[in-house]
Structure 1
Amino acid sequence: MNTRIAAPLIVVGLLVGLTACGSSDDDKAAAAPGRTVSEADRDAARKAAGLPEEPSAHDRYAFLEALDAIDPRISKADMDERSVSRGLNQCGSIRTTKDRAKLIELTLERFTIATRLPDINNADTGGKILDAVHKHLCPDF
């Protein structure tokens, strides 16, 4: 895997791990509120990974509406949260990859269009999703 793509994924994985409860079986059984990551630390880790901040409610809604305009099955097959998460991860690729054809390929893979919606698995759909991600989730990238 390309290290420019892997770095954001590693940081996101670390964020997930850091927000989990303790490391021993006894700790996992009991909630450990003191072991959660602060929002500031989470934002700093996202920034270090090249990912944008969590979108505002307005931007999140606009992104999901844009996906629905492309094909309602894209976001309906996922929970909305998963679609937004996939979009935010795609922002990391937008930041590090300038080749549009490669970005479209990554978009189709990230949104699992080939396996879930093979009838729209094409560059046109991938480009539209990519443009929606860029416009609504990471316009400064």
Structure 2
Amino acid sequence: MRIRTVAAAVLLLTAAAGCSSNTTAATSAPPPAAPAVSPQQSAEASAGAGGLPPKPDEAAVAKYVAALDAIDKDIVHGKPDTAVSRGRDECSSIGQGKAEDELVQLAIKRFTSPDHPQGFGPGKAAKILEAVHANICPTF
């Protein structure tokens, strides 16, 4: 995107200076290169304060679901996409710097199932929070 913007600006400057015969200096200079950004820096920048982490790949989802199933099989209850969405929301709260007890309360509210409409209680919610942090947003 930046390269196109710079190229368009160079073309506009060249067209504006069309009367001048010395346009080679403006057109022969290469556009500035975009700064190199690692995938982790990109994820951290997009997450920002309270932002969502990127969606995990299939391997990370499998590991996350296994961690949740080890706590209680009913947490995921056959809906891994929902579990990932809830985990990413929990990561947003982690990124906002909320206190541990508040994060546990949010996990109780977020992670529900038909058999646990009021959540899984503080003990399991704390373990869910650990699984989320370890598997969905370890850099938060």
1:64 paired with 2:70, answer no
CA distance in 2, matches of 1:138, 1:131: 10
Displacement of 1:120? 6.8
Structure 1: segments with no counterpart, 5+ residues: 1-42
User: 2:22 aligns to what?
Assistant: none
User: 1:125 aligns to what?
Assistant: 124
Percent identity of equivalent pairs: 36
Displacement of 1:123? 1.3
Question: Which is helix-richer, 1 or 2?
Answer: 1
TM-score (norm: length of structure 2): 0.60
Once the two structures are superposed, residues 104-123 of structure 1 have per-residue CA deviations (whole angstroms, 9 ceiling, x without a partner) of 0001101126x742697321
Change (3 A) 1:83 1:99: same
CA distance in 1, matches of 2:93, 2:102: 9
User: 1:98 aligns to what?
Assistant: 98
CA distance in 2, matches of 1:140, 1:66: 18
Q: Which has the larger radius of gyration?
A: 2
CA contact (8 A) 2:52 2:88 kept: yes
Aligned Cα RMSD in Å?
2.6
CA contact (8 A) 1:55 1:137 kept: yes
Structure 2: segments with no counterpart, 5+ residues: 1-42
